[in-house]
Amino acid sequence: MGYSRFLLKRAGQGILVIWGVVTVVFALRYITPGSPVTFIAPLDASQALKQEIAIEYGLNRPIYVQYIDYVIGLLPPNIDMGQSFAAGTSVSSQVFAALPRSLELAVAATLVAVMLSIPLGVISATNRHEPTDYAATTFSLMGISTPNFWLGLMLTLLLAVQFNIFPTGGMARVGGTPLLFTDAVGSLVSGRPQLMITWLSHIILPAVTLGTYFTALVTRLTRSGMLDELGKTYITALRAKGIPETLVRFRHALKNTLVPIVTVLGLQLGTLIGGAVITLRVFSWPGLRSVLIDAINARQWVILQGCLVVVGAGFVIVNTVVDALYAYLNPEVTV
């Protein structure tokens, strides 16, 4: 199978997964106890008012009609996820406004993990049974066994409340407007580093908190992968040919170790977009997950569906990219 065909197949599978997510989430809405109207109407609403609300939001129509309408609405280019029951505003705009905030934090946390874990894993593997190896292993075990939300609380108490180095939470803002990474880079380019500093000060604690677990995980993975590779005969052959040790380690051993690491990082990125709810609440980070949890609490099914579709699509896209990278690193998988 060619590379392009492989990618097309993966994309097709991804679309099917998204459709499955949409269908399951839509079905769950009717399986969960309590009608959607109950959650929109005030607690003391009369039956007549509930009836009016059902008519107003089209909830009195047959389920299959609602389903078909919803799926058709999701199709590009409009991507209409419906209207929020509470606000009457577009769910798509709400979800797509939250998505970049989640993405930039997920990417930042992944970067923290990559920048720390791969060097640590390599150092640990190449210094096996030496103090640096033990230190890296201890760090990994601590990182894996420390609950993220606790780490977040401790970092906040120490570095934000006690020493006032970082803000306690929330996104960076200019006036009342959220400051995104792109804005910060723009200001940096135009010679105003202050916005970048502000952006960094807000994202460092949540990114480190979220990234710590994955740093530990990927460090372990890198270490064991490197140990595997370094023990293989081709490495002995490379060394016998007089290839410098740095090249042996980083160009040959590490490259082959990266295949499973890329897979894990891809899955991690997808998880971070929609997960880590408690940790992100500690930092009051207004991303997709807070929209998701608010929607669950308020039984805002339309918003919940929108979030899940976007999270599902995010997973699919990230994993398709990972598959592409995987195939690039290991062409055998396309066969």
Least distance (Å) from other proteins to the CB of residue 69?
Answer: 19
Please report, for residues 144, 207, 220, 263, 276, the alpha-carbon distance to residue 102 in angstroms, rounded to integers and kept in the order given: 22, 11, 26, 20, 11
Binding of other proteins at residue 332 (CB under 8 A)?
no
Q: Which stretch binds other proteins (CB under 8 A): 111-119, 172-180, 199-207, 316-324?
A: 172-180
DSSP 19-48: HHHHHHHHHHHHHSSS-HHHHHS-TT--HH
Q: How big is the site for other proteins, counted in residues (CB under 8 A)?
A: 52
DSSP 251-292: IIIHHHHHHHHHHHHHHHHHHHHH--HHHHHHTT--SHHHHH
Written as six digits, the tokens of 26 are 């839509």
Q: Which is nearer to other proteins, 216 or 292 (CB)?
A: 292
Fill in the amino acid letter for 35. Answer: S
Least distance (Å) from other proteins to the CB of residue 13?
Answer: 34
- For residues 305 and 81, is the Cβ–Cβ distance under 8 A? yes
> How far is it, in rounded angstroms, from Cα 207 to Cα 200?
10
Count of all residues that appear for the chain in the document: 335
Among 13, 80, 294, 317, binds other proteins (CB under 8 A): 294
Written as six digits, the tokens of 208 are 């480190």
Show the binding pattern over residues 218-257: x = contacts other proteins (CB under 8 A), - = does not: ----------------------------------------
Binding of other proteins at residue 4 (CB under 8 A)?
no
Least distance (Å) from other proteins to the CB of residue 334?
Answer: 44
Binding of other proteins at residue 177 (CB under 8 A)?
yes
Q: Which stretch binds other proteins (CB under 8 A): 111-119, 176-184, 225-233, 238-246?
A: 176-184
Least distance (Å) from other proteins to the CB of residue 215?
Answer: 24
Written as six digits, the tokens of 170 are 């929330």
List residues near other proteins by CB under 8 A.
33-34, 38-39, 41-47, 49, 52-53, 56, 83-84, 86-90, 94, 97, 153, 156-157, 160-161, 164, 167-170, 173, 175-178, 281-284, 286, 290-291, 293-294, 297-300
